[in-house]
Chains A and B, each alone.
Chain A
Amino acid sequence: MAKKVALLQGNEACAQGAVYAGCKFFGGYPITPSTEVAEILSNELPKIGGKFIQMEDEIGAIASVIGASLAGSKALTATSGPGVSLKQELLGYACIAEVPCVIVNVMRGGPSTGMPTGPGQSDVMQARWGTHGDHAAIALAPATCQEIFTETVRAFNLAEKYRMPVQLLFDEIVGHMRERIEYPEPGDLEVIDRTAPSVSPEDYKPYDTSFGDVPPLAAFGSGYRFHVTGLNKAADGFPTTKANLVDDEERRQIRKVEANRADIEKNEEYLVDDAEVLVLAYGSTSRSARYAVNELREAGVKAGLFRPVTLWPFPEARVAELGKKVKAIVVPEMNLGQMILEVERVVKDSCALAGVNRVDGEPINPGQIIDKVKEVM
């Protein structure tokens, strides 16, 4: 049977992907360029018995999402740079309390109000380090409308599987462009639900590591009573200041991502095998980069594209390996050089490194990338 197809905007594909993933709660606050996600879910969620609420502010939005998730609903919020700045404290809460949830950030420029209707990729480091304290981060950056659908499903899966917040980083270009997408049928994509406790309510501890680095999570109202706090805590969920327990908790919450990189990381490699120069790009910028790589190949330059779909954790092993094979890596991004710092960290001085950067609200075009490649080769 032919797949159902549609011409969908990126933000629409995100909303549809959320429904596919089993999202039952959206708490949001209006902000350009992400509002379509909220608008569509206000229409779609009640149809499937889900809940939509427009909260009083960005902080309230993520607070409601964490509350709903603890009550057993897969939950989503969508915002943009300034909204993510406001959400940072509670993003950290979701990290330490280990509450699955998905945060969409349709990136624009900044800092502050910046250029609300222009594209940007300047929240890459905010996604990694925005909230205070040591913590792991998972952030995904799709580049097409189809991929926004599938990565939204994957974001929910990772949030549920690893009991943590997952950020979806679009930029205004992928969020607002329209492309043909094929709707996956139910069953085409894996949908993961959080692991429920296998023990009785009397024996349940919300941070019991005897089940591994990701403890099973019960829902409020399901017959399990437990305590949740943003304080460092012991296995039973109650606050502790015991040095060894705090240390164990902090390290475990980072380890649960680090030890599962193979499951979480996702990259696309295009014409990389014989490449002498690598363009490393993500999100909408990777579309210009692909065009540039094709043009360069036609001109006889052995160029390849490395596109991280999972931005965090950064694919450090593979990038370090590629850094030893190529003469140069060019990193185009719509910021003044954020992801290039990670590339620099892992390739060290094994190859030349150059950025192509724009923060004027205009996309990076293939010509700029081609020029930079020629410059470094």
Chain B
Amino acid sequence: MAFDYDKYIRPGKLPHIWCPGCGHGIAMKGLIRAMDTCGLEKDNTAIVSGIGCASRLPGYIDMCTLHTAHGRAAAFATGVKMARPEMTVLVMGGDGDGTAIGGNHFIHACRRNIDLTYIIFNNNIYGMTGGQFSPTTPTGAKASTTPYGNPDPVFDISKLAIGAGATFVARTTAFHATQIDKLIAEGIKHKGMAVIEVLDDCPTTYGRRNKFRSVVDMMKRLKENAVPVAAAAKMTAEQLEGKFLTGVLYKEEKPEYCKQYAQVIAKAQGA
């Protein structure tokens, strides 16, 4: 039987705002399947986002949803989670929202290892504002603000998350649709900061400026450059040039922030 997405979609809130060919819808379906796998209770789940195309996602989902300001999702989510540690708190947004204007909140949420599941929709561009370069726009690529090619080096979001202290970090792509829900579900189940980077595509503002003739070409890029972690172990550095790893990149059990704070409360109360 086909999966019933409507169970989690707010009545009357579709169609979504995303352009034809955008990968965000694929990622949202993966997220919904992951919610179902984890048996999340609608009343007890908060979805927090920033500003941007990806950040409009929470409005479509029938849970406690918080569309915040640009870059601030992780910090709002930290407040929600601290106030109600029993809630499942998911965070989502794009590459610019999470790692440029929101970079500080992102790395510190990772450092605290607070039990948030942060899904970053990385389409390498600021789509909503019309295609300005983001911290993940490839060097040399064209964006509306890099007419001569992007001079900036790029962030590797997953490496950034690992370096900052996140205890579950995974990467997949909009092409690998069936892997999205598995990784998000694993992230939700993980007790601590989980970051799932979903590489997707923006045909409207990135593809058309960078010689992708179609959405299919953009999907092929995701398919052909993805290397599963296990396969990468057998490949040389030369073979891995220009590729990216997919799957669970890092996993570690460490004390979770709200649990640590519960100990602070116990100490303050004389335990």
Query: CB-nearest residue of chain A relative to B65?
Result: A227
B-side interface mostly: helix
- Check if A63 sits within 8 Å of B75, measured CB to CB: yes
Q: Is B232 part of the binding interface, using a Cβ–Cβ cutoff of 8 Å?
A: no
- Check if A25 sits within 8 Å of B79, measured CB to CB: yes
Chain A residues 225 to 246 lying within 8 A of chain B, measured CB to CB, are 225-231, 238-239
Q: Which stretch in A45-53, A187-195, A354-362 binds the other chain?
A: A45-53
Do A229 and B59 contact each other (CB < 8 Å), given the known contacts A46-B264, A60-B105, A90-B72?
Answer: yes
Residue from the set A43, A90, A222, A229 with the largest chain B CB neighbour count within 10 Å: A229
Q: Which of B42, B63, B77 has a CB less than 8 Å from the CB of A67?
A: B77
| Measured CA separation A222–B41 after assembly (Å) | 12
Query: CB-nearest residue of chain B relative to A227?
Result: B65
Chain B residues 234 to 271 lying within 8 A of chain A, measured CB to CB, are 261, 264-265, 267-269
Do A56 and B79 contact each other (CB < 8 Å), given the known contacts A63-B68, A221-B44, A225-B63?
Answer: no
| Measured CA separation A60–B68 after assembly (Å) | 12
Contacts of A63 in B (CB 8 A): 68-69, 72, 75-76, 78-79, 105
- Check if B84 sits within 8 Å of A221, measured CB to CB: yes
Contacts of B224 in A (CB 8 A): none
Interface flags for B78-94 (1: CB within 8 Å of A; 0: not) read: 11111110110000000
| Measured CA separation A56–B62 after assembly (Å) | 31
Q: Which of B42, B59, B72, B80 has a CB less than 8 Å from the CB of A60?
A: B72
- Check if A57 sits within 8 Å of B104, measured CB to CB: yes
Do A68 and B63 contact each other (CB < 8 Å), given the known contacts A47-B269, A56-B104?
Answer: no
- Check if B267 sits within 8 Å of A46, measured CB to CB: yes
Q: Which stretch in A71-79, A283-291, A308-316 binds the other chain?
A: A71-79
Q: Is B135 part of the binding interface, using a Cβ–Cβ cutoff of 8 Å?
A: no
Question: Smallest distance from the beta carbon of A20 to chain B beta carbons, Å?
Answer: 18
| Measured CA separation A201–B104 after assembly (Å) | 36
Do A72 and B84 contact each other (CB < 8 Å), given the known contacts A63-B76, A220-B46?
Answer: yes
Contacts of A75 in B (CB 8 A): 79, 83
Chain B residues 7 to 60 lying within 8 A of chain A, measured CB to CB, are 10, 13, 42-44, 46, 48, 58-59
- Check if B59 sits within 8 Å of A25, measured CB to CB: no
Residue from the set A55, A71, A222 with the largest chain B CB neighbour count within 10 Å: A71
Question: Smallest distance from the beta carbon of A245 to chain B beta carbons, Å?
Answer: 16
| Measured CA separation A70–B44 after assembly (Å) | 13
- Check if A221 sits within 8 Å of B64, measured CB to CB: yes
- Check if B79 sits within 8 Å of A27, measured CB to CB: yes
Do A67 and B48 contact each other (CB < 8 Å), given the known contacts A51-B82, A90-B69, A225-B43?
Answer: yes
Contacts of A67 in B (CB 8 A): 48, 66, 75-81, 83
| Measured CA separation A72–B84 after assembly (Å) | 8
Query: CB-nearest residue of chain B relative to A60?
Result: B75
Query: CB-nearest residue of chain A relative to B101?
Result: A59
Do A226 and B268 contact each other (CB < 8 Å), given the known contacts A55-B78, A93-B69, A220-B87?
Answer: no
- Check if A64 sits within 8 Å of B82, measured CB to CB: yes
Q: Is A154 part of the binding interface, using a Cβ–Cβ cutoff of 8 Å?
A: no
| Measured CA separation A75–B80 after assembly (Å) | 11
- Check if A227 sits within 8 Å of B68, measured CB to CB: no
- Check if A68 sits within 8 Å of B59, measured CB to CB: no
| Measured CA separation A64–B104 after assembly (Å) | 14
Q: Is A65 part of the binding interface, using a Cβ–Cβ cutoff of 8 Å?
A: yes
| Measured CA separation A189–B117 after assembly (Å) | 42
Contacts of A61 in B (CB 8 A): 75
Interface flags for A187-223 (1: CB within 8 Å of B; 0: not) read: 0000000000000010000000000000000001111
- Check if B66 sits within 8 Å of A228, measured CB to CB: yes
Question: Smallest distance from the beta carbon of A152 to chain B beta carbons, Å?
Answer: 20
Q: Is A147 part of the binding interface, using a Cβ–Cβ cutoff of 8 Å?
A: no
Question: Smallest distance from the beta carbon of A364 to chain B beta carbons, Å?
Answer: 38
Do A66 and B76 contact each other (CB < 8 Å), given the known contacts A71-B83, A230-B67?
Answer: yes
Contacts of B107 in A (CB 8 A): 56
Query: CB-nearest residue of chain B relative to A43?
Result: B268
| Measured CA separation A201–B43 after assembly (Å) | 10
Contacts of B10 in A (CB 8 A): 227
| Measured CA separation A220–B87 after assembly (Å) | 9
Q: Which of A25, A220, A231 has a CB less than 8 Å from the CB of B67?
A: A231
Chain B residues 179 to 197 lying within 8 A of chain A, measured CB to CB, are none
Question: Smallest distance from the beta carbon of B48 to chain A beta carbons, Å?
Answer: 7
Query: CB-nearest residue of chain A relative to B44?
Result: A221
| Measured CA separation A228–B80 after assembly (Å) | 13
Query: CB-nearest residue of chain A relative to B265?
Result: A46
| Measured CA separation A47–B42 after assembly (Å) | 31
- Check if A70 sits within 8 Å of B108, measured CB to CB: no
Contacts of B268 in A (CB 8 A): 43, 46-47
Query: CB-nearest residue of chain A relative to B56?
Result: A239
Question: Smallest distance from the beta carbon of A318 to chain B beta carbons, Å?
Answer: 37
Residues of A at under 8 Å CB distance from B?
Answer: 24-25, 27, 43, 46-47, 49, 51, 53, 55-57, 59-61, 63-73, 75, 89-90, 93, 201, 220-231, 238-239
Query: 8 closest Cβ contacts across the A-B interface?
Result: A67-B79, A63-B75, A64-B79, A46-B268, A71-B83, A56-B108, A60-B75, A68-B79
6 new A-B contacts at CB < 8 Å, known A72-B83, A220-B84, A221-B64: A53-B261, A59-B75, A63-B69, A64-B76, A221-B87, A230-B67
Give 27 pairs: A residue, B residue, CB < 8 Å, sorted on A: A46-B264, A46-B265, A46-B269, A56-B104, A56-B107, A60-B75, A63-B105, A64-B76, A64-B79, A65-B79, A66-B68, A67-B66, A67-B83, A69-B79, A70-B79, A71-B46, A71-B79, A71-B80, A71-B84, A93-B69, A220-B46, A221-B43, A221-B86, A226-B64, A226-B65, A228-B67, A231-B67
